Structure 1
Amino acid sequence: MMFCEFAEDPFPWLSYRENISADVVGFKMTATAANGSMIEITPDVAEVYLGRKNLSFAAFSLIVGPDNEPSEVDESLRRTSGGFSFKVDSEAGKEVLVHILTEVTVPFTVLVYAGSHVSPTALVATFLVPHDIPPVANQSDLFDPACTVKVARVVCLPLSLLKAIAQRSQSTECAISVVLQAPRFVTKLSDKIVRISLFYVHCLDMFGIQSDWREDICVLGEVTTWDRVHCVCKNTRRARRQLNTIRLGNTHLHARYLTAKVIVVPNPIDLRLEVIKEVSIYGLTYGYEKAIEWLFASFCSFFLSVFLVQPSKIMLSAGIRLNKLKYCKNLPWVSHYRYTEITLQNMKLDPDEMRKQHDYIVGLRGTRMYQPLREDDIRIFKRKKRLKRRAILFLSYVVTHFIFLALLLLLAALLRHTNTVYYNEFLHNQFFVDLDTVTKLQDIYSWLNDVLVPLLHNSLNPTFLPESASVILGLPLMRQVRAKSGETACPPAKNFVQSSIKGEIHCHPKYGTDPEDTENYTSSWIKISKRATDKNTKGFTYKPQEKRWPYHSHGLLHTYGSGGYAFYFFPDQEQSNSTERLEGLRSGKWLDERTWAVILELTTLNPDANLFCSLSVVFEVSPLGVVNTSLSLHSFALADFNRKKSAEIYLYVAILIFFLAYVVDECYVITQERAAYVKSVYNLLNFALKCIFALLIVLFLKKHFLAAGLIQFHSSNSADFIPFHAVSQVDHAMRVTLGFLLFLTILKTLRYSRVFYDVRLAQGAIQTALPGIFHVALAVSVYFFVYMAFGCLVFGQHEWNYSNVMRATQTIFSYCVSAFQNTDFSENRVLGILFLSSFVLVMICILVNLFQAVILSLYEEMKQPVYEEPSEEVEAMAYLCGKLRTIFGFLSFRFKVLQEPEFFMDMLYGQPEKNSRRYLGLKTRNINGRKMVYLVV
């Protein structure tokens, strides 16, 4: 065998010379035939390793650096990345090899994108590149990941992938972007760590020196790298060639030569450098199309500004300036206009015209314009100045009030009342099934087994409620509140001292009076000393009151704390687990005569609507021995403080700014008015509004911090009961507070609606009629109490509407608005008819109409006094409307301001009495705490 390796290309006259960048080798294998002649031997497979030449330009440095993750990201999740893009012809027919040259041993993730820009929609392939084994491609329907080269750190982009990218770009020349990601191993940008070699290879073969290089014999081998080419040559015509060689034994023997054509992909672009290049060219990190759109938008903005916005501003400012009279004092002493150098031509007048002009000037000097100011004029000017200041303050108060009202309405909308109603109704329909059939303690077990357990255990989707997207957070908790063992005082037993049934009479303990049991027991209520902590324990363990997240459970009879003998359900386990454990409770007589209440509590989350719901089912044992059941639900949503995904945070910041401004303003008013502050009803209303606003802020922050703590607790202790009921109770208090705040804010709107005469008239009539209203209200309250007490005592035993004081009060209130319902009075119809008849006669026909008569009688009498009494709000509104009319009059080129329309004046000031003269003449009245004398004509 003969093998030779050439230092230079021995065949410079052949083709491919300019592309051959690998060594040229040759070999020849011969053998001696039987007749002593030399024959050529062609092997089945020949593998040759060829070294590459000119490696200085075979690879380029890649800039890698840390990603721009937020600072709160965990250190283990931080990444180092780099990227580059290149263009390649998909019709070249060879796979592209990407060799990552680095000394670090971290695994890389190579992301291949179609096009020159990186976007999630352009991702076409992903490769995992460890440092010691060949890369692994993801399974995809776009391409066949099979490739010949299988070397560590060498990523092969197969021909099928290139064709898929070319088909997407609808061009044979396809642009490809490659991004490298790895666990963080650098802290700043660097181009000294990673180098990339980008190439594809053709193996060339030549038999004898008289032929030419061919590409169809040898193929690329598995261990090709950036500095060494592996070629595999297979001979498919060995038998025929050997026979021909034997026949032509005297022919000159030929050698086989091998080399490789290595083509380096030209002009790869580092993506980090490409961003810098686009900034310098376009000014922004946009592409060419986006830059053209920005250029068009800039031209449009320029033309709109020059031909529309600026002329409008000039016209508006000029109109405002022309509206004000100009005097000599308004002319500046120093300016670029030389008034003294203006020459007046053709000013020669005859004596008559000069005399007329002189008389006109003398008359003009005698007018009020050129006379000294009098005291009345000064007073008028001061009043106008005060009126202007008052109008500006009034306008600012009105604008800020309605902005604040809009913010509160937006906050109320974020509470998602409609969604919470539907969510509560959905859960109510699921958990209320057969709940009204529970009348005994043993019925509780039946309801738990038949209704609750199938709801908690979903075999198809564990921890989710059946046929819904609601997930159960934590473990559902069932706890029992029971009385402590011992003798219970029973007064009725003393009445049977001499009777034989004295020992048979005993009373059940009462909640709130007798002590609650907090001991630990075995499964048969046998006391033990050591407390068990396992949730699967077979004993009865007392769960103490929540201290970190306290809450209460409300039943029909009492309000219970968060403690009790706990029993947990495990939704992620089989349904049989809960069934067997409930059977153990039944056999251990968990419910007995000392049971006060059984409370079931759980929390669900609907991620689609972002709603939490705290659910409580309370079974209470009444003194009559009947079990009362109640189901309470409260849904709530948590605030979203993610600035990138939600705009809620801007609303909260605006509300907080308003709160701080209101506090500062109220403190300033208190320091200015001091003792007189409490004498104004308007000040008291403002103070109450600010206090409720402060309470709303406190409850909102408390709800947020409670929820954040519970969510963190759930993330670390998901197999435990999560008391989101504490958050729901704070949310309920916050909603009630927001309701009162909205009520007072809307009520405050009446202050600004006093600009209308009818509103002032109604307020004046009510204020004047307050003594009469109080007296009539006292009479109505007495009769109201009489009917309530009579109905409760006479009909309370048989009529549900009068069974207690609260229901009787609600029933009488409904009668006052003529809502007569459930008026059968089946036990005593005669008394019922007399009761309703007297109520209609006394309460509706007399007292309610008397209320109206007291107010309406003063309504007519207050028209003239309200018309005469000055109002600051009306003056401010009239001033603002006059300014608006002046501005709009100039814009419509009507320089002569018309008088105010009559209907507008009637709305603001009203009309005087025309048929009565008792209000005319000189009057004296206390107005705003001052005695004023005025004349009515």
Structure 2
Amino acid sequence: FIDDKSNRLIGWATMRQLRVKSTLCPKQTAISSVCEEDYNQFHADQRSYVPEWKDYTSNNYTAFIRQAFTYQSGAVLETYTYVGDHASYGSGGYVYEFRGRLSDLQSNLSQLHQLSWIDNRTRAVIIQLTLYNPNVQLFTAVTLLAEFLSSSGVFTSARFELLSFYTFTSVYQLVCTIVYMLFIFYFVWIEIRLLIQMKWQYFRRFWSYVEIGIIVCSWTSVGIYIWRYKESQRIGQLFKDTNGYVYINLQLAAYVNDVLTFLFAFCCFFGTIKLVKFCRFSQRLCLFIETLRYAGKQLISFTMMFSIVFLSFLCLFYLLFVSKLLRCSSLLGTAQMLFEMTLMNFDATGISEADAFLGPLCFAVFIFVVVFVCMSMFLSIINENFARARSNMDGKNEEIFSFMLSTFQQWIYSKKPADRKILKDRLGERYSDQMNSFSERVDDLLKVIDRIYISQIQDASTVKEMNI
């Protein structure tokens, strides 16, 4: 166990170095004719050396020291490409293993320092170790990275990935997974029927791509899940056989787990987009879709114009403040800063301090052109098409509750839909005939009432004469 008394170190830690070859400088000077470029796969050094990075030595060194100067491939080390902040580093390298007593480790590290194990050709040092916490039954893959740039400077980063190799943690999770896969089977059957019926017209529907995205991501997740399960079984068996006294690299398991997380994210994304489809049952929510449909062409034209304007300001701010503002040190950082300025989230003091004249001037021009002009155009497009969509709403969209009620009634009725339609048509014809003859019957009724009224008057006059 390490000092926290909760996490146990699995096996030992490893320190892997990646180096570049020495090449002739494009322009040789009297100062130096040999240059070491930044790391890439073409300039990576894959030769084996003896201590002090020489081809031959007469001194005797321990096996751990000699191994630190011997190149090993990724297949031997069971390591994979690692993506850092400044480059992507290969799977091989020169590895030193932290094995043995503490005094031996200190002596070896001191000796590596004296032998210049890290020199001007070093571009990355990656320290990897694996921890296991029995209290929560979680593995932790720890990766510490130090990147050495050719322009000088060392940039460090760390990554901690928690891994749980249990298939299902509860019965509820198992039930939800089964129900989800049943829905996926149902969606596949529905989409196959639609594809057969509509043929090439199927690929012209937006919702077809949403359904395909859900199905593809779901089935791919099943395959990746099986792959992760097999990898967890291999790691678990190795841990059981060695009692955790051998180095276990979880880099592949971490990558597989990341891919599975990405697929889950896309499944949630497409599933959430599918909820918009229910907007057709509400006139108010349907305004959103109708507004986008009416404003589609105008928004495309506006996006092209806005992209050109934004790109021009991106080049302006990047070239002016690349050496003065940290956020403008890269194109991506500059674009992020300009988007925040569009949302009125900015640091006016930093821009003014970068340049007393050009800073406020560029800032004022950007706010006027992008915020006041471009955003006003965008809002006017949305408002105009929103009013158009609201005026053209025909009121034929069903409410979701009425749709659910009619569907439920179709399920519980014993008659088929065709029989109900025939019965409805017959009843409609019968009621129509009765309404057409209603006026004639009213006339007949009035005639009868008139005859009765006249006869009563005649009888009343006859009785009156007899009394007289």
Shorter-normalised TM range: 0.7 to 0.9
Distance in 2, matches of 1:846 and 1:714, equals 64
Indicate if the aligned counterparts of 1:780 and 1:847 stay in contact, CA closer than 8 A.
yes
TM-score by length of 1: 0.41
Q: What is the Cα deviation at residue 811 of structure 1?
A: 0.9
Query: CA deviation digits over 1:662-718, x for unaligned, max 9?
Result: 333322322232122112111121112211222222222222222222232333454
Indicate if the aligned counterparts of 1:756 and 1:874 stay in contact, CA closer than 8 A.
no
Q: Where does residue 441 of structure 2 map in the other structure?
A: none
What residue identity is the alignment partner of 1:803?
A: S
Distance in 1, matches of 2:25 and 2:41, equals 13
Q: Note closer, same or farther for the CA distance 1:746–1:641 as it changes in structure 2 (3 Å cut).
A: closer
Query: CA deviation digits over 1:788-816, x for unaligned, max 9?
Result: 11000011111111111111111111112
Indicate if the aligned counterparts of 2:280 and 2:397 stay in contact, CA closer than 8 A.
no
Q: Where does residue 209 of structure 2 map in the other structure?
A: 684
Q: Where does residue 32 of structure 2 map in the other structure?
A: 504
Pairing 1:684-763 to 2, within 5 Å after superposition: 684-716=209-241, 718-763=244-289
Indicate if the aligned counterparts of 1:640 and 1:648 stay in contact, CA closer than 8 A.
no
Pairing 1:166-315 to 2, within 5 Å after superposition: none
Q: Where does residue 46 of structure 2 map in the other structure?
A: 518
Q: What is the Cα deviation at residue 785 of structure 1?
A: 0.5
Q: Where does residue 467 of structure 1 map in the other structure?
A: 4
- The structure number with the bigger radius of gyration is 1
What residue identity is the alignment partner of 1:725?
A: Q
Query: CA deviation digits over 1:9-49, x for unaligned, max 9?
Result: xxxxxxxxxxxxxxxxxxxxxxxxxxxxxxxxxxxxxxxxx
What residue identity is the alignment partner of 2:83?
A: H
What residue identity is the alignment partner of 2:52?
A: S
Structure 1 residue corresponding to 2:26, chosen from 471, 487, 491: 491
Q: What is the Cα deviation at residue 607 of structure 1?
A: 2.4
Structure 2 residue corresponding to 1:480, chosen from 17, 22, 27: 17
Q: Note closer, same or farther for the CA distance 1:634–1:734 as it changes in structure 2 (3 Å cut).
A: same
Q: What is the Cα deviation at residue 868 of structure 1?
A: 4.4
Q: What is the Cα deviation at residue 719 of structure 1?
A: 4.2
Distance in 2, matches of 1:627 and 1:536, equals 26
Q: Note closer, same or farther for the CA distance 1:861–1:814 as it changes in structure 2 (3 Å cut).
A: same
Q: Where does residue 792 of structure 1 map in the other structure?
A: 318
Q: Where does residue 109 of structure 2 map in the other structure?
A: 582
Distance in 2, matches of 1:700 and 1:635, equals 16
Distance in 2, matches of 1:535 and 1:655, equals 54
TM-score by length of 2: 0.79
Distance in 1, matches of 2:291 and 2:54, equals 74
Matched residue pairs, number? 405
Q: What is the Cα deviation at residue 772 of structure 1?
A: 1.3
Indicate if the aligned counterparts of 1:519 and 1:527 stay in contact, CA closer than 8 A.
no
Q: Note closer, same or farther for the CA distance 1:780–1:820 as it changes in structure 2 (3 Å cut).
A: same
Structure 2 residue corresponding to 1:782, chosen from 296, 302, 308: 308
Is 1:666 matched with 2:201? no
Which runs of 5 or more residues in structure 2 are unaligned?
Answer: 412-468
- 3-state DSSP class of the match of 1:474? coil
What residue identity is the alignment partner of 1:536?
A: F
Structure 1 residue corresponding to 2:82, chosen from 514, 537, 553: 553
Q: Where does residue 453 of structure 1 map in the other structure?
A: none
Q: Where does residue 182 of structure 2 map in the other structure?
A: 657
Q: Where does residue 123 of structure 2 map in the other structure?
A: 596
- 3-state DSSP class of the match of 1:779? helix
Is 1:855 matched with 2:346? no
- 3-state DSSP class of the match of 2:4? coil
- 3-state DSSP class of the match of 2:316? helix
Q: What is the Cα deviation at residue 779 of structure 1?
A: 1.6
Distance in 1, matches of 2:132 and 2:63, equals 23
Distance in 2, matches of 1:610 and 1:515, equals 42
Query: CA deviation digits over 1:143-173, x for unaligned, max 9?
Result: xxxxxxxxxxxxxxxxxxxxxxxxxxxxxxx
Q: What is the Cα deviation at residue 828 of structure 1?
A: 0.9
What residue identity is the alignment partner of 1:471?
A: R
- Which structure carries more helix by proportion? 2
Distance in 1, matches of 2:336 and 2:5, equals 38
Q: Where does residue 444 of structure 2 map in the other structure?
A: none
Indicate if the aligned counterparts of 2:73 and 2:92 stay in contact, CA closer than 8 A.
yes
Is 1:626 matched with 2:143? no
- Which structure carries more strand by proportion? 1
Is 1:836 matched with 2:348? no
Query: CA deviation digits over 1:241-261, x for unaligned, max 9?
Result: xxxxxxxxxxxxxxxxxxxxx
Indicate if the aligned counterparts of 1:553 and 1:616 stay in contact, CA closer than 8 A.
no
Q: What is the Cα deviation at residue 482 of structure 1?
A: 1.1
Q: What is the Cα deviation at residue 880 of structure 1?
A: 5.2
Query: CA deviation digits over 1:165-184, x for unaligned, max 9?
Result: xxxxxxxxxxxxxxxxxxxx
Q: Where does residue 137 of structure 2 map in the other structure?
A: 610
Distance in 2, matches of 1:517 and 1:662, equals 52
Q: What is the Cα deviation at residue 883 of structure 1?
A: 9.2
RMSD: 2.9
Distance in 2, matches of 1:620 and 1:744, equals 38
Q: Note closer, same or farther for the CA distance 1:515–1:839 as it changes in structure 2 (3 Å cut).
A: closer
Q: Where does residue 338 of structure 2 map in the other structure?
A: 812
- 3-state DSSP class of the match of 2:350? coil
Percent of residue pairs bearing the same amino acid type: 20
- 3-state DSSP class of the match of 1:676? helix
Q: What is the Cα deviation at residue 870 of structure 1?
A: 5.0
Q: What is the Cα deviation at residue 882 of structure 1?
A: 8.4
Q: Note closer, same or farther for the CA distance 1:719–1:611 as it changes in structure 2 (3 Å cut).
A: closer
Which runs of 5 or more residues in structure 1 are unaligned?
Answer: 1-463, 497-501, 885-937
- 3-state DSSP class of the match of 2:141? strand
Indicate if the aligned counterparts of 2:40 and 2:89 stay in contact, CA closer than 8 A.
no
